[in-house]
Amino acid sequence: MITLKAGRDRSRGDANAHLAAIHAGKGQTPILRITLFSLRHYWQVAFALGGAVVASVLQLLIPRLLGQAVDQAQNILSTAAEGAEQALLWTAMTLLGVSVARGFFTLIQNYFSESVGHHVGYELRLGFYDKVQKLSYSYHDRVHSGDLITLGLLDLDGVRMFFSTGLVRVVLLTVLIGVGAYMLFTTDALLAVLALSFVPFVAWRSSAAQLALRATWYVLQEKLSILTRVMDENLSGIRVVRAFAGQKFELAKFDRASKAALELAHRRVIVRVSNTSMMTFSFFAAMGLVLWVGGNKVIDGEMTIGTLASFLTFMTILQMPVRQLGMMVNGFARASTCGERFYAFIDEPIEIEDRPGAKPLELSKGVLRFEDVRFTYPGANHPTLDGVSFEAKAGETIGIVGAPGSGKSTLAHLIPRFYDISDGRITIDGQDIRDVTVQSLRRKVGVVQQDSFLFTTTIENNIAYGNPWAKETKIEKAAESAQLHNYIIGLPAEYDTVVGERGVSLSGGQRQRLAIARALVTRPAVLVFDDSTAAIDAGTEHRIRSAIKRFASDRVTIIIAHRLSSLMHADRILFLDSGKIAEEGSHEELLALGGRYKALYDLQTRPTEDLESEGAAQ
């Protein structure tokens, strides 16, 4: 147990170190932040860069050795000098050894470059997912999940690959082109100029092509993000699509988004192919000039055939690295673009977080109080809640009812600080919920929301989500209170039954009951039901209400509902209208008042024919 705990602590410490490193350097350029973040893996970086340098040097020896071998072979054929064959054999063995060594160090370079990239990718994914968990509801209200998926896949991958596509290539190309050019110029300046004449053109076209590809890549990312969004919405609403026979419409919508991405991909192919053809032509033109001039030098006796062969071999070796200049430029450009988007997300301010010096919520009497609370959604012109004040004591049940848009669900979301209020105070036992830690607050406030989201896992795991260490008896008791236990034990695998994606294998009422059981397992001090029994029949709802009443005898219960039968038993009922409490009292008191609550009660309980006849008479 001690070993396991130490392992968890060490893992948590490593994760915190990674997260701190990701957030470091705010205000610096994306390239600098990515570079410094990658260099943290210093020994992998050392092996990768060291392998690149050694592999480049060994690759530059190959043209010299080939030229030397050609001259030695010519000597054997022309003079049959003693020891020439042995010298050629020695050169061949050396060439083989250098080639093997070059391959080995290239392997080291590639392996550790990828190692750095994958370590960086792992840590960035950790930071991305951590940020997603911390962002407030308001952020997710305005940003589509498809955009976040694109950001966490494509942009993150562009940042991850920068070390191998950018930094390592800088070292590789510097050694190959710089040292190689020096070796050529010290051998024959004229041939060196001809051999390297294709380099500026290829570097220019390659860089221009890669920058054009980078610009279109950014647009392609946007189109792929739209494509992801369309697919995500279709998969999420597949039952609605099938119910309304909307397959053709959805396919047409997906086809339009897909064609837009395809057209851009075609443009990218044209840019790549046309520039590749021009670069290849310039290379062979330069090689033809070297053959012509160098051949004449060989004929005139100014140069050996081996030296000419070494020039041609060097050009062949240099062709691919020179083309990689454009890939290197693209690596920097892509990392800059993707890094800017990724770090903009990482640096996004967290609206709901612990204040400095925040302490865990401490419970004594369990009193929830709203004090002149006002709340306005970002960008809204009018407040959703305006001057709401009420108090709920432990053991009390507060019912909240009102027309759609009156602020009922917003009120439920303010208690666990899904949003922060604009003005006023919300307190639990006199402690402002903004002054306590968010984690302790949400452990004490259980919200059963309208959307009963379930994970693709077993029923037991879904119920125990808020308390993974809950005992089986506690899970079963919560299921019994939610009137779900009898259904579960009738399943072949009982509590080990795996529910489908988003709980589609369960009915709406079963999903709501499972969500209620999940909230009951945590035993919160404040229990909020946000229209969470709308899909449950009246008889089952009555049994659930009786069970919850026993469960909530020492805690605050808030029931938000459109159906008055769900909250008629409440100790007090608040009728919200345009964000204000229009009426307040028990069910009987509000009926006696004869106001809006009474009108709503009549609408829901009296026969429709009576209401229509009254309307006609008036």
- Is 1 or 53 the better-scoring residue by pLDDT? 53
For the segment 584-605, the average pLDDT, to the nearest whole number, is 84
- 601, 572 contact by CB (below 8 A): no
What is the amino acid identity at position 255? D
pLDDT exceeds cutoff 50 at 509: yes
pLDDT digits (tens, 9 = 90+) for 127-172: 888 888 887 777 777 777 767 777 777 778 888 888 888 888 888 8
- Tokens representing 22 are 């990701």
What's the number of CA atoms in the CB half-sphere (13 Å) around residue 216?
18
**CB–CB of 522/446 below 8 Å?**
yes
Q: What are the phi and psi torsion angles at 106 (to 5°)? A: -65, -40
Q: CA nearest 275: which of 327, 237, 345, 234? A: 327
Evaluate if pTM is beyond 0.85.
Answer: no
- pLDDT, residue 377, reads 85
How far apart CA 563 and CA 547 sit, in angstroms, is 19
Per-residue pLDDT tens digits for 540-583: 666 777 777 776 677 888 888 877 777 888 888 888 888 888 88
Structure confidence at residue 47 (pLDDT): 92
The two counts, helices (H) then strands (E), for the chain are: 25, 10
Distance of alpha carbon 402 from alpha carbon 251, whole angstroms: 40
d(CA 196, CA 96): 27
The CB density around residue 132, as the number of other CB atoms within 10 Å, is 15
Task: For residue 397, list its beta bridge partners.
Answer: 557
- In the chain, % of residues over pLDDT 70: 83
Q: Which band of pLDDT confidence, cut at 50, 70 and 90, is reported for residue 537?
A: low
361 in Cβ contact with 557 (< 8 Å): no
Listed residue (430, 467, 420) closest to 446, CA to CA: 467
Tokens of 597: 């609550």
- Give the model's pLDDT for residue 603: 81
Exposed, middle or buried by CB within 10 Å (0-12, 13-18, 19+), for 16? Answer: exposed
Beta strand residue intervals within 326-440, DSSP E: 368-375, 385-392, 397-402, 423-428, 431-432
Lowest mean pLDDT, pick from 52-61, 108-117, 207-216: 207-216
Residue ranges and CATH numbers for the domains of the chain are: 18-346 (1.20.1560.10), 368-617 (3.40.50.300)
Burial of 314 (0-12, 13-18, 19+ CB in 10 A): buried
In this predicted structure, the answer to whether residue 2 has a pLDDT above a threshold of 80 is no
Q: Which run of H or of E encompasses 563?
A: none
Which residue has tokens 């004869």? 594
Mean pLDDT of 36-49: 87
pLDDT digits (tens, 9 = 90+) for 429-440: 888 888 889 888
